[in-house]
C-alpha cells in the first residue's frame, strides 16, 4: 500500500506540510521585523546628524520626576564657560559636563531593540517625566530646532571592554525602545552641572588666618615658615594652653579644599550677622570669607585681593573674584563648622583636664 493510498498517512503528510509552511512563514515574518527594527550596519547612531551639528546647540533641557532645568549657551560670557544654568540665576555650568553630554549623545550606538509595550516602560524607567521615572533630554538650536530628543531609562551592563555602559532609551514620540551603548551615564541632577571651579588654595601657601565671630571677637593662627609642621595662635589667653599642638591647623586651613553644594545670588542671603575668616598666603594672596548661618545651612561669600607687588598673585586674585563675586555658596556642615571654629574649642579646659576627643567629620 502506498503512502497516498492510506488516508491517515495522507492526512498526516498534508498537516505536516502545512506546519512546515507555517513555521517558514513565521520565521520570515520575524526576520522582516528584526530587519526593520535592527540598526543598519549592526550599530547605527541613535541620534544621527548630531555630531555635525553640535556647535549649533544652544540649549540642553533635562526633565525628571524631581523637576526640570535648562543649560543655556550665552556666547558673551567671557573666558569662563559660556553655558549657564537658567534655574540657578544663570550661574556658570560646567563646560566639561556640557561637552561630555553632547559628545555622549552624538556617540550613542544602538545595540538591539527592546520593548515596544508602553505598559512595560515603568519597569525600565522609560515613562516620560514628570510622572514617569525616565530622564528626558532635549537639545535645541537658537531657533528652537530639535537636534536631539530622547528619554533615558535604566542602565545595563553590556560587558564593554572600554568601560562603556548600556542604556535603555526611546524617542519621546515612539514606543519602540532600544539598548544603546553610551560612553557614560547622563547627569540628571542640576547640582551636578554646576561649575565647581571657584577657589583652589594649596595649604602649603597659607601663612595666617584670622577668625572673627559675629560678635567681633577674633583670634589668629599663624606660622613663620612653610616648613612649620603646625600653626600656632598669635596670642593665647592668660592661663590657657592649646588642647593639642595641631589644634589651630583646622581653622587655619579652612579655605583649602573649598567646595560647595549649592549656589545663589549673594544678595539673597542675609550676611548682616556673618562670621569672617581671612586667610593670607606667604606670596600675598588674601581671601576674606563671610560665613552666614541660615537655619542649619552655612552660606559663604569670597572676596580676594593681592597684598604686595606680585603680578601673578594679582592676576590670581582677579580671576577668583571674577568667578566668586556676587555669589553665595552653600558649603557642607563640616566645612561651615570649620570656617567658624570658636577659639574655646582650640584650648584645653580650664583646670588642666583633658578635653573630650572631637570626632573627625567625614568629608
- 167-175 mean pLDDT: 97
Band (30; pLDDT cuts 50, 70, 90): very low
pLDDT tens per residue across span 47-102? 999 999 999 999 999 999 999 999 999 987 655 679 999 999 999 999 999 999 99
**87 close to 69: Cβ distance less than 8 angstroms:** yes
Is the per-residue pLDDT at 10 higher than 50?
A: no
SS3 content of the chain, % helix, strand, coil (to 5): 30, 30, 40
Whole-number pLDDT of residue 42: 44
Query: What is the chain's mean pLDDT, rounded?
Result: 88
2 vs 30 pLDDT, higher one: 2
- 293-305 mean pLDDT: 97
β-strands 232-233, 165-170 pairing? unpaired
Whole-number pLDDT of residue 9: 46
- Which CB contacts under 8 angstroms, 24+ apart, belong to 144-150? 147/47, 147/49, 147/50, 147/53, 147/54, 147/56, 147/57, 148/47, 148/50, 148/105, 148/106, 150/46, 150/47, 150/105
Whole-number pLDDT of residue 77: 65
- Cell 596670642 locates to 235
Phi-psi region of 329 (alpha: psi -120 to 50; beta: other; left: phi over 0): beta
- What the block records as the C-alpha cell of 123 is 519597569
Write down the pTM of the prediction. 0.79
- 186-196 mean pLDDT: 96
pLDDT tens per residue across span 226-280? 999 999 999 999 999 999 999 999 999 999 999 999 999 999 999 999 999 999 9
Is the per-residue pLDDT at 11 higher than 50?
A: no
Percent of the chain with pLDDT over 90: 82
- Cell 549657551 locates to 73
Q: Give Cα separations from 109 to 3, 153, 229 (angstroms).
A: 56, 15, 54
Is the per-residue pLDDT at 342 higher than 50?
A: yes
Whole-number pLDDT of residue 353: 54
Whole-number pLDDT of residue 76: 76
Q: In angstroms, rounded to a whole number, what is the distance separating the alpha carbons of residues 361 and 254?
A: 13
Whole-number pLDDT of residue 352: 59
Is the per-residue pLDDT at 148 higher than 60?
A: yes
Amino acid at each position: 500500500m502506498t503512502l497516498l493510498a492510506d488516508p491517515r498517512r495522507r492526512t498526516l503528510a498534508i498537516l505536516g506540510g502545512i506546519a512546515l509552511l507555517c513555521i517558514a512563514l513565521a520565521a520570515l515574518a520575524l526576520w522582516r521585523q528584526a530587519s526593520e527594527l535592527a540598526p543598519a550596519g549592526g550599530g547605527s547612531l541613535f541620534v544621527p546628524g548630531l555630531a555635525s551639528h553640535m556647535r549649533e546647540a544652544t540649549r540642553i533641557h533635562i526633565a525628571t520626576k524631581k523637576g526640570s532645568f535648562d543649560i543655556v549657551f550665552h556666547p558673551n560670557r567671557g573666558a569662563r564657560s559660556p553655558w549657564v544654568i537658567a534655574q540657578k540665576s544663570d550661574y556658570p555650568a560646567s563646560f566639561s559636563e556640557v561637552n561630555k553630554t553632547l559628545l555622549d549623545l552624538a556617540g550613542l550606538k544602538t545595540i538591539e531593540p527592546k520593548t515596544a509595550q508602553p505598559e512595560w516602560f515603568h519597569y525600565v524607567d522609560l515613562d516620560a517625566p514628570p510622572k514617569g521615572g525616565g530622564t528626558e533630554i532635549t537639545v535645541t538650536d537658537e531657533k528652537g530646532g530639535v537636534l536631539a530628543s530622547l528619554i533615558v531609562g535604566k542602565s545595563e551592563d553590556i560587558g564593554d571592554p572600554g568601560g562603556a555602559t548600556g542604556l535603555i532609551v526611546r524617542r519621546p514620540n515612539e514606543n519602540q525602545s532600544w539598548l544603546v551603548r553610551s560612553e557614560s551615564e547622563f547627569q540628571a541632577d542640576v547640582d551636578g552641572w554646576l561649575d565647581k571651579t571657584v577657589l583652589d588654595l594649596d595649604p602649603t601657601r597659607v601663612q595666617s588666618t584670622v577668625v572673627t565671630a559675629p560678635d567681633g571677637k577674633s583670634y589668629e593662627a599663624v606660622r613663620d615658615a612653610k616648613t612649620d609642621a603646625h600653626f600656632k595662635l598669635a596670642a593665647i589667653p592668660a592661663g590657657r594652653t592649646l588642647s593639642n599642638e595641631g589644634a589651630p591647623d583646622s581653622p587655619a586651613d579652612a579655605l583649602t579644599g573649598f567646595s560647595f553644594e549649592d549656589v545663589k545670588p549673594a544678595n539673597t542671603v542675609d550676611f548682616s550677622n556673618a562670621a569672617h575668616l581671612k586667610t593670607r598666603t606667604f606670596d600675598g594672596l588674601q581671601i576674606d570669607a563671610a560665613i552666614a548661618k541660615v537655619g542649619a545651612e552655612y552660606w559663604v561669600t569670597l572676596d580676594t585681593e593681592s597684598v604686595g607687588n606680585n603680578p601673578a598673585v594679582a592676576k590670581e586674585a582677579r580671576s577668583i573674584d571674577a568667578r566668586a563675586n556676587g555669589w553665595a555658596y552653600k558649603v557642607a556642615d563640616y566645612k561651615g563648622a570649620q570656617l567658624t571654629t570658636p577659639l574655646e574649642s582650640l584650648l584645653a579646659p580650664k583646670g588642666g583636664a583633658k578635653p573630650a576627643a572631637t570626632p573627625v567629620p567625614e568629608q
